[in-house]
Amino acid sequence: MTVAAKFEIEYLQYLDPQGKPIGKLPPAFEDPKTLLPLFKQMLFVRTFDDKAIRLQRTGKLGTYAACLGHEATHVGIGASMQEADVFAPSYREYGAQFMRGVQAREILLYWGGDERGNDFAVPRHDYAWSVPISTQCLHAAGAALAFKLRGQKQLAVACCGDGGSSKTDFYAALNSAGAYQLPLILCVVNNGWAISVPRSAQTGAQTLAQKGLAGGLHCLQVDGNDLIAVLEGMRRAAERARNGEGGSVIEFMTYRLHDHTTADDARRYRDDAEVKDAWTRDPMVRLRNYLTAQKLWSEDEEKAWAEECARKVDVEINAYLETPVQPVEAMFDYLYADPPADLLEQREAAIRREGRA
Amino acid sequence: MTVAAKFEIEYLQYLDPQGKPIGKLPPAFEDPKTLLPLFKQMLFVRTFDDKAIRLQRTGKLGTYAACLGHEATHVGIGASMQEADVFAPSYREYGAQFMRGVQAREILLYWGGDERGNDFAVPRHDYAWSVPISTQCLHAAGAALAFKLRGQKQLAVACCGDGGSSKTDFYAALNSAGAYQLPLILCVVNNGWAISVPRSAQTGAQTLAQKGLAGGLHCLQVDGNDLIAVLEGMRRAAERARNGEGGSVIEFMTYRLHDHTTADDARRYRDDAEVKDAWTRDPMVRLRNYLTAQKLWSEDEEKAWAEECARKVDVEINAYLETPVQPVEAMFDYLYADPPADLLEQREAAIRREGRA
Amino acid sequence: MNKAETMTATPSNAAAEAPAAAAITLIEAITQALAYEMRNDDTVLVLGEDVGVNGGVFRATAGLQQQFGPERVLDTPLDETTIAGLTVGLASQGMKPVAEAQFDGFMYPMVDHIVCHAARFRYRTRGRLTCPMVLRVPWGGGIRAPEHHSEANEAIFTNVPGLRVVMPSSPARAYGLLLAAIREPDPVIFFEPKRIYRQYKEVVPDDGEALPLDVCYVLRDGSDVTLVTWGAQVKETLEAADKLAGEGISAEVIDVATLRPLDFATIAESVSRTGRCVIVHEAPKTAGFGAEIAARLAEESMYDLLAPVERVTGYDTHIPLFRLEMKYLPGVDRIVAAAKRALANG
Amino acid sequence: MNKAETMTATPSNAAAEAPAAAAITLIEAITQALAYEMRNDDTVLVLGEDVGVNGGVFRATAGLQQQFGPERVLDTPLDETTIAGLTVGLASQGMKPVAEAQFDGFMYPMVDHIVCHAARFRYRTRGRLTCPMVLRVPWGGGIRAPEHHSEANEAIFTNVPGLRVVMPSSPARAYGLLLAAIREPDPVIFFEPKRIYRQYKEVVPDDGEALPLDVCYVLRDGSDVTLVTWGAQVKETLEAADKLAGEGISAEVIDVATLRPLDFATIAESVSRTGRCVIVHEAPKTAGFGAEIAARLAEESMYDLLAPVERVTGYDTHIPLFRLEMKYLPGVDRIVAAAKRALANG
Ligand SMILES: Cc1ncc(C[n+]2csc(CCOP(=O)(O)OP(=O)(O)O)c2C)c(N)n1
Ligand SMILES: Cc1ncc(C[n+]2csc(CCOP(=O)(O)OP(=O)(O)O)c2C)c(N)n1
Ligand SMILES: [Mg+2]
Ligand SMILES: [Mg+2]
């Protein structure tokens, strides 16, 4: 048999679900202290997520997409990027965004029905949340192309879900990343479900990582509940990208522990048993156990930090709740740099209808 | 290193460019006589193609997409299908279509600017030519889905080009073929060029066959100038599909020996040397040499058959040239089964403008 | 198929089976129509994202997979290009697919297959291949949903030959028009105004009676001004008519229901009596479908018009996120004001 | 950027370099504008299928890759979704991409990124991210091309807030409007009527002078009837005006040039003098952009109209393959007949 091509996809995992190392850790983690701020960030994310869900339940927020269970993947992705890089999220990667400087109040404003939530104070050049699934992957590819054409050593990172990896835009992004050898990392956050559709119904492919082969990209599958694996996978991909070796597809194996959004009821379509089982791989437990075993963390510290997180989130929630609604003219003022005359007339009419001159 | 997945893509070739067997032929070809009618069909295709180009050059045909060099791939694909199967061509697979019963006069009518060219007398259920690149791949997937849902053992075959394998529709087709395990064969006819864009600029992937891995499909790369390899590749894929084992992507390695279409001038963007070299792999030569060595074909037979082909094609050309233009109402009569009143009024007005009542 | 056939009543055995009618919402009427037609035509199948076990994010397909099995109700991979392309493929090979776009804002990737293929198969092949399909699209704003969940984008399709574009605004019309759409031998884009999915209930007998796909509905007779609208704004428009009545103004209200082909005769007849017309729609004004109605009036009813045509529409900007969206949508006050302007003029 | 800036003349050094002007075709004017702006703004880049070595299938980008290198003129993989998505990505990160759709019929897969992203980045992010891009689209019928190469599909975009939609109809307007489009800080869909790409030559100085993006052009003054059109039909409309003149009828001819935003004032002013308006376009009639112009007349010029508005357009069917296509397109005779009808009425 003549072989035209051969491939192997590597799988990365360093900590087992109980937080015990499996074999040798990558060199960067010889000093586990570096993991501590990330663990604290993960805890902050979980606190934020929990409070945002409650806010929605009490009618003070619109539909909200929780990130419960994704903390290691999201925080790890964000932590692996440099400031000048560009991040293109889907709609639940708060952990990555916090690492990049996005504020909790901005996230709440967005889900609270106010476009100003997309006007991140920092980072100015990251993409806004992208509701049309995986379209952000192509914007990230375009950003990566801009970097490459300008000879900048920046990279673009996009996230999409397991469902999102079926979207033609995802394929288009990996195809162009391969064609132009772009500094692009496509992060497929495989949380098992796309609303009610299980990963198994999305594709016949054994792994989602292997989709990158279609574009000749570097492919990797990592345990997305293991922060160390996430960081190591991202490190490898980022290094390749910055060295001009092109793009990667990384599949992060994790699980959506919450409903799809607050508008969803997952009990309609998935077994409690599956969710229960997934909780045994909770990314928080794993890292907490590991850091505790390393004597870097304790129950007391956790309690104190949890309280601080709650306080911090409450400050953000209040800032959100106190933000007045935009005036009616806001719907006209950001459409064009140079608005046409007819539009300005409509703007005036809308203001008049408010009883303002 | 933990391996998540491993793949190998096989390459099929049985005859060398001079028509000498490389190793053992597949069992089906122990009697080479079966190849004879296909070789004759290939010769017919080449005659047709040549005459169609001339017809265009003399202003008697619109833009025409030649198939020079693709004969083995196209005829082999057509020969591998059963009548009840569905074929979804792009726009130059005349060899496959002749095998399915499409008439040369229909092809000419289509390129001659007359929709009736798409109204194949036979086969009634095959798709028309598809100008929007690779969209036909998804229609074929839909047809395959229909077969599967109805429990029919039919299969759908779609062709696209190397350029077409970059199109999101191609990816969508392979993704759904994998997700639903469809009896679908996606034939990527890699002729090296997409108008002026070389295969190397389309994707970073080593082979186009491997794109199928993205959907978990069976992948194969075959020498598209070797009819035996084409038939054997198709046989394997068709067997899998009919057995319910799902879809395949087959990459056929061939070469576009002509301009992209008669509207193109390939000298603008490609080297004569490359074309010259490609001629050394002419699919006709290879099969002719093989059949001649097997004492199944001779110069005299070729001469006689060539003359007959010319005569047959001329009959078709005359039939095309003698087909009167459709009446103006034809542009209204096939839009809806039940045309709206306003449209019927426009139809009457158009007829009146012709000076007819 | 001719119009008579399209509108043929239920086969008698099905009618006999029909349960005693209960009052149902617009979305329940959709489900009822889907179930009816799936029972009566086994080539009908439903596909889309989350339409299976989950019954659709709006529950339009609730219970259908349980009833008809996963071979008739298919969850698709998450890709709208895929849904559109598979639907065209299925339709051209003897199936009658009813596809769902999860929200209006996600249908853009479907445009290519709809415009280049669904709308052209019959034309391209001189009738050899056809594309009897329905694309159901939850449509429009006002449900406090996230971005891209609130769009009034019907104008993308109204200039496309070969399509029919339908938008019901009551449970009964949703049922009858959806049945007609499924039975129609050509592709139908079926917009469902999601804001009124559960607005009120109405008794809709499950009798398999389709409604014609080329007719506007006069919902209220009037003599002073004609209010023409479609989709969720039918609610506000009827309320406006009430309010106008309170001020002694008699407004006729027309639900366009089928945008393409447009039953202009019904509108023209009304305007010939009232001499005044206000067109109301959610989509942005410029080149919205309201323009076509106003254009037809300018062409064919000019001598009937006693006052300039008025359009009350979404502004020429994107519908804002939900804190402001109700200020974007036309509303009773704007409709009333426009009607009074029309009456003050001319 | 305000209008003054948009229209700013050439930096003086570039003007100094400008070669003696020769007469050029519309497509050469496109090339000239692209080259001018690439010289003067190094963030401008061109991308699309076959735009590189091949110079585009219509030769619009001929010579640009040789002149500016493969980093400024990029062949893309064969996928329109890719082109649109990359263009949005590039535009939002400081580049000014000018993308080419090879033909009108291949732009549908671009609709999603254009409508959901290009048209919304500024709005969505309150001005933080923007999308200064141009999509060039060879447009319309009449060149005896294969299927999908002859479409008049501007109506897909004219209802979309956040976009500008432009269509030049002369070499000079092609040059000036394309420069303006590239300098515009928001996305522009730039339709190029391919039938008149090489129709005639005109001296177009390469002086970097942009034309305004919100103005209709009065190409011929007249007092009896206003003929409004755009794109390739400008040719037939001017011929019709000639023919009408021969019969003593004075027709004013307006080239809309920019469809969105529409300069209705110029049209209204003309109709206020002529009292009659014939709108001519290639696209199918129903819900074509002509409807918007007729609607504005019905709203704002009703008292000026002496006769019903007339539309002379493509029929409400697909443009046929080329044996019949010239019977589909409006033509001089239909325009003349409509103008006379307008004059006979009222
Ligand atoms: C183009 C498009 N189609 C449909 C939707 C509706 N939708 C929102 S999220 C979602 C599922 C996404 O699943 P996945 O990609 O796995 O991401 P996850 O939500 O699990 O993070 C769907 C179908 C959408 N937002 N965009
Ligand atoms: C969607 C779309 N975009 C662009 C084109 C214009 N076009 C026609 S053929 C072609 C190149 C196709 O190359 P390939 O897929 O390799 O097939 P080949 O012509 O070599 O057989 C292009 C770009 C098209 N027909 N459809
Ligand atoms: Mg998921
Ligand atoms: Mg090719």
Q: Do C3-204 and C217-345 share a fold?
A: yes
* Cα distance between residue C340 and residue C249, in whole Å: 9
**CA separation, residue C179 to residues C33, C75, C258, C276 (Å):** 6, 22, 14, 34
* Cα distance between residue D216 and residue D226, in whole Å: 13
D15-26 in b/e form (b: 16+ CB < 10 A) is eeeeeeeeebbb
β-pair partners for C99: C47, C135
Under the banding of pLDDT at 50, 70 and 90, the label for residue D16 is: very low
Distance from CA of A178 to the nearest CA of D (A): 10
pLDDT at residue D8 greater than cutoff 80: no
pLDDT at residue D4 greater than cutoff 90: no
β-pair partners for D192: D138
Residue D2 is predicted with a pLDDT of 36
Residue C21 is predicted with a pLDDT of 76
Tell me the CA–centroid distance for residue B164 and ligand 2, in Å: 6
Distance from CA of C245 to the nearest CA of A (A): 23
Residue C15 is predicted with a pLDDT of 45
Q: How far is CA D283 from the centre of its chain?
A: 13
> Of all protein residues, whose CA lies closest to atom 21 belonging to ligand 1?
A161
Burial (CB count <10 Å: 0-12, 13-18, 19+), residue A33: exposed
Residue D6 is predicted with a pLDDT of 35
* Cα distance between residue B69 and residue B49, in whole Å: 10
Distance from CA of A122 to the nearest CA of D (A): 11
Tell me the CA–centroid distance for residue B163 and ligand 2, in Å: 6
Residue C178's SS3 state is helix
**CA separation, residue A355 to residues A82, A349, C236, C318 (Å):** 48, 10, 21, 22
Residue C2 is predicted with a pLDDT of 36
Q: Measuring CA to CA, which residue among A343, A351, A156, A193 is closest to residue A267? A: A193
Residue A148 token pair: 């490459």
Whether residue C320 and residue A115 make contact (CB cut-off 8 A), yes or no, is yes
Instruction: Answer yes or no: are the C-beta atoms of D232 and D140 closer than 8 Å.
Output: yes
Architecture category of domain A10-325 in CATH: 3-Layer(aba) Sandwich (3.40)
Instruction: For strands C44-48 and C96-100, give the pairing.
Output: parallel
Interface A:D, Cβ pairs < 8 A: 128
Whether residue A343 and residue C316 make contact (CB cut-off 8 A), yes or no, is yes
B298 interfaces chain D, CB cutoff of 8 Å: no
Q: What are A4-43's pLDDT values in tens digits?
A: 999 999 999 999 999 999 999 999 898 999 999 999 999 9
Burial (CB count <10 Å: 0-12, 13-18, 19+), residue A220: buried
Residue C27 is predicted with a pLDDT of 98
Under the banding of pLDDT at 50, 70 and 90, the label for residue D19 is: low
Rounded to the nearest 5 degrees, what angle is found at the Cα of C202, between the Cα atoms of C201 and C203? 135
Rounded to the nearest 5 degrees, what angle is found at the Cα of A149, between the Cα atoms of A143 and A150? 90
Largest Cα–Cα separation, chain B: 81
Amino acid (one-letter) located at B184: L
β-pair partners for D73: D46
D18 interfaces chain C, CB cutoff of 8 Å: no
pLDDT at residue C11 greater than cutoff 80: no
Higher pLDDT, A2 or D346: A2
Architecture category of domain C217-345 in CATH: 3-Layer(aba) Sandwich (3.40)
Residue B356 is predicted with a pLDDT of 83
Measured over the CA atoms of residue A231, residue A233, residue A236 and residue A241, the dihedral's sign is negative
β-pair partners for D284: D314
pLDDT at residue C18 greater than cutoff 70: no
* Gyration radius of chain B's alpha carbons: 21
* Cα distance between residue D145 and residue B261, in whole Å: 12
Burial (CB count <10 Å: 0-12, 13-18, 19+), residue D312: buried
Q: Measuring CA to CA, which residue among A20, A102, C309 is closest to residue D308? A: C309
Whether residue A5 and residue B9 make contact (CB cut-off 8 A), yes or no, is yes
Residues in A touching B205 (Cβ below 8 Å): 178, 213-216
Ranges for all domains in chain B classified under CATH 3.40.50.970: 10-325
> Of all protein residues, whose CA lies closest to atom 18 belonging to ligand 1?
A161
Instruction: Answer yes or no: are the C-beta atoms of D259 and A340 closer than 8 Å.
Output: no
Q: Which residues of B are designated catalytic?
A: 256, 260, 269
Residues in D touching B131 (Cβ below 8 Å): 105, 146-149
Rounded to the nearest 5 degrees, what angle is found at the Cα of D214, between the Cα atoms of D213 and D217? 95
**CA separation, residue D230 to residues A190, A204, D235, D262 (Å):** 50, 50, 9, 12
Count of Cβ atoms closer than 10 Å to residue B326 Cβ: 19
Residue C345 is predicted with a pLDDT of 81
C203 interfaces chain B, CB cutoff of 8 Å: no
> Of all protein residues, whose CA lies closest to atom 26 belonging to ligand 2?
B132
* Cα distance between residue C96 and residue D63, in whole Å: 50
Question: Which residue among the candidates C117, C149, C281, C318 is catalytic per the annotation?
Answer: C149
* Cα distance between residue C312 and residue C170, in whole Å: 21
Whether residue C291 and residue D286 make contact (CB cut-off 8 A), yes or no, is no
How many residues does the structure list for chain C?
Answer: 346
DSSP letter at A233 equals H
Residue C254 is predicted with a pLDDT of 98
Residue A120 is predicted with a pLDDT of 98
Count of Cβ atoms closer than 10 Å to residue A311 Cβ: 10
DSSP assignment of D28-41, as one string? Answer: HHHHHHHHHHHHH-
Testing the interface with C: which of A133, A162, A334 to mutate, by most C Cβ within 10 A? Answer: A133
pLDDT at residue C19 greater than cutoff 90: no
Phi-psi region of D170 (alpha: psi -120 to 50; beta: other; left: phi over 0): beta
Cis previous bond, B89, omega within 30: no
Question: Which residues, other chains included, contact C13 with Cβ-Cβ below 8 Å and sequence gap of 6+?
Answer: none
Cis previous bond, C138, omega within 30: no
Query: Which stretches does DSSP call E strand in chain A?
Result: 2-12, 86-88, 156-161, 184-190, 193-194, 197-198, 218-223, 248-253
Tell me the CA–centroid distance for residue A255 and ligand 3, in Å: 8
Instruction: For strands B218-223 and D164-166, give the pairing.
Output: unpaired
pLDDT at residue D1 greater than cutoff 70: no
Distance from CA of D286 to the nearest CA of C (A): 6
Query: What value does the mean pLDDT of chain D take?
Result: 94
DSSP letter at C116 equals I
In the block, residue with structure tokens 């993960």: A42
Give the predicted TM-score (pTM) of the model.
0.97
Instruction: Answer yes or no: are the C-beta atoms of D274 and D223 closer than 8 Å.
Output: yes
pLDDT at residue C20 greater than cutoff 80: no
Residue B265 token pair: 């001038």
Query: In chain B, which residues have pLDDT < 70?
Result: 357
* Cα distance between residue B215 and residue D223, in whole Å: 65
Told to judge if D149 belongs to the known catalytic residues of this protein, a careful annotator would answer yes
Residue C1 is predicted with a pLDDT of 32
Q: What are A65-101's pLDDT values in tens digits?
A: 999 999 999 999 999 999 999 999 999 999 999 999 9
> Of all protein residues, whose CA lies closest to atom 6 belonging to ligand 1?
C102
Q: State mean pLDDT over A262-283.
A: 97
Residue D255's SS3 state is strand
Type and span of the H or E element at B333: helix B330-333
Q: State mean pLDDT over C45-62.
A: 98
DSSP assignment of B58-90, as one string? Answer: TTSS------TT-HHHHHHHHHT--TTSEEE--
Please state which CATH class domain D3-204 belongs to: alpha beta
Ligand 1, CB cutoff 6 Å, lining residues: A 92, 131-133, 160-164, 189, 191, 193-195, 256, 260; C 49, 78, 80, 102, 106
Domain ranges, ordered by start, for chain D: 3-204, 217-345
Instruction: Answer yes or no: are the C-beta atoms of A95 and A78 closer than 8 Å.
Output: yes
Instruction: Answer yes or no: are the C-beta atoms of A18 and A289 closer than 8 Å.
Output: yes
pLDDT at residue C12 greater than cutoff 70: no
| Phi, then psi, of B4 in degrees rounded to 5 | -85, -35
CA atoms within 13 A on the CB side of C98: 31
Burial (CB count <10 Å: 0-12, 13-18, 19+), residue A356: exposed
Residue B357 is predicted with a pLDDT of 67
* Cα distance between residue C237 and residue C281, in whole Å: 10
Q: State mean pLDDT over C18-44.
A: 92
* Cα distance between residue A158 and residue A217, in whole Å: 15
B170 interfaces chain C, CB cutoff of 8 Å: no
Residue D20 is predicted with a pLDDT of 63
Instruction: Answer yes or no: are the C-beta atoms of B346 and B332 closer than 8 Å.
Output: yes
Q: What are D202-254's pLDDT values in tens digits?
A: 999 999 999 999 999 999 999 999 999 999 999 999 999 999 999 999 999 99
